[in-house]
Amino acid sequence: MDGQMIVTKSPAELDAMAASGDLLVQVHELITSLVRPGITPLELDRAAEEMIRANGAVPSFKGFHGYPASLCISPNEMVVHGIPGKRAFVEGDLVSIDCGVTLDGWVADAAVTHEIGTVSAEATHLREKTLESLLAAVEVCVPGNRVGDVGHAVQTVVEDAGLTIVRSLVGHGVGRTMHEDPQVPNYGKPGRGARLTNGMVIAVEPMVTTGGHEVVVADDDWAINTVDGSLSAHQEFTIAITDDGPRVLTPWHASVKTR
Ligand code: MG
Ligand code: MG
């Protein structure tokens, strides 16, 4: 693709990124053990930062374009980039939590959507189908496929479920920096876009709503909300494309742990 610079990684570099990813999985497991009604995003952020730094790593988000925290915590109609604050979670919230870890100079990026207590059937459907779309994308992350195949895999699951892709926010290459080429939209046509090759690493991150695709930046200049107030979910893996098949470097879900 014209103008793109895609940096592939050696097997040793992929192992280093996997170590960063393993730490990030531990952070998400810590978060999963803590999320409940009554806990505040600020408490989760502190716990995550403490674990990251205790393991000799750096929270990738903190200071990124001035971002003030280690996590992005985005409840309900908030899609992404929620700055952790003091509003405690309440029963029924659907909360997307995104984290980046930099270990030995390598970034790993992953997001998980959590149900707080018992949520609506609509919220569960949204969370489960967003995850299913991400897992479908993993399957097509093989050399020879193209970025459009990844987007198409996500889009098919989401739209077949009666849900909507947020189109203005996309996934991305990952490596020494958090955002590298190529961009990875969550929609697309099979066979189009940059070719996936051995050693590429991409963050695939479907952002899905129960309503429309339009989003708006909040007054804090960070949080991004659905315009229509509909619910949103966001789940993300950092995935290496290898000749041996997809390698999820942030395997926070059981079905991708053995790859
Ligand atoms: Mg992320
Ligand atoms: Mg990302």
pLDDT in tens, 9-62: 999 999 999 999 999 999 999 999 999 999 999 999 999 999 999 999 999 999
Q: How confident is the model at residue 3 (pLDDT cuts 50, 70, 90)?
A: confident
Under 8 Å CB-to-CB from 35, ≥6 apart: which residues? Answer: 44, 89, 95, 97, 114, 116
Q: Is residue 3 part of a domain?
A: no
Compute, in angstroms, the gap from residue 23 CA to the centroid of ligand 2. 16
Residue 257 has pLDDT above 90, yes or no: no
Compute, in angstroms, the gap from residue 143 CA to the centroid of ligand 1. 23
For ligand 1, an ion, list residues with CB under 5 A: 98, 109, 111, 236
User: For position 100, which CATH number holds?
Assistant: 3.90.230.10
In this structure, which ligand is nearest to the CA of 110? 1
Q: Which domain holds residue 138?
A: 11-254
The number of beta carbons lying within 10 Å of the beta carbon of residue 159 is 15
SS3 at position 133: helix
Compute, in angstroms, the gap from residue 162 CA to the centroid of ligand 1. 24
Compute, in angstroms, the gap from residue 71 CA to the centroid of ligand 2. 12
For ligand 2, an ion, list residues with CB under 5 A: 109, 203, 205
Contact between 143 and 196 under an 8 Å Cβ cutoff? The reply is: yes
Compute, in angstroms, the gap from residue 161 CA to the centroid of ligand 2. 23
Contact between 155 and 165 under an 8 Å Cβ cutoff? The reply is: yes
Q: How confident is the model at residue 258 (pLDDT cuts 50, 70, 90)?
A: low
* Of the candidates 174, 179, 233, the residue with the CA atom closest to the CA atom of residue 208: 233
Compute, in angstroms, the gap from residue 20 CA to the centroid of ligand 2. 14
The structure's pTM equals: 0.97
Q: What is the mean pLDDT of residues 188-213?
A: 98
pLDDT tens per residue across span 174-195: 999 999 999 999 999 999 999 9
Q: Is residue 2 part of a domain?
A: no
b/e code 8-17 from CB counts within 10 Å (16+ = b): ebeeebbebb
Q: Is residue 40 part of a domain?
A: yes
Compute, in angstroms, the gap from residue 106 CA to the centroid of ligand 2. 14
Q: In this structure, what token pair is assigned to residue 100?
A: 């980046």
Compute, in angstroms, the gap from residue 110 CA to the centroid of ligand 2. 7
Compute, in angstroms, the gap from residue 217 CA to the centroid of ligand 1. 17
**Residues 188, 171: Cα–Cα separation, whole Å:** 13
Compute, in angstroms, the gap from residue 90 CA to the centroid of ligand 1. 23
**Residues 73, 83: Cα–Cα separation, whole Å:** 6
Helix 11-34 × helix 41-54 angle, to 10°: 140
Q: In this structure, what token pair is assigned to residue 140?
A: 């097509």
Domain count within the chain: 1
Mean pLDDT of the chain: 97
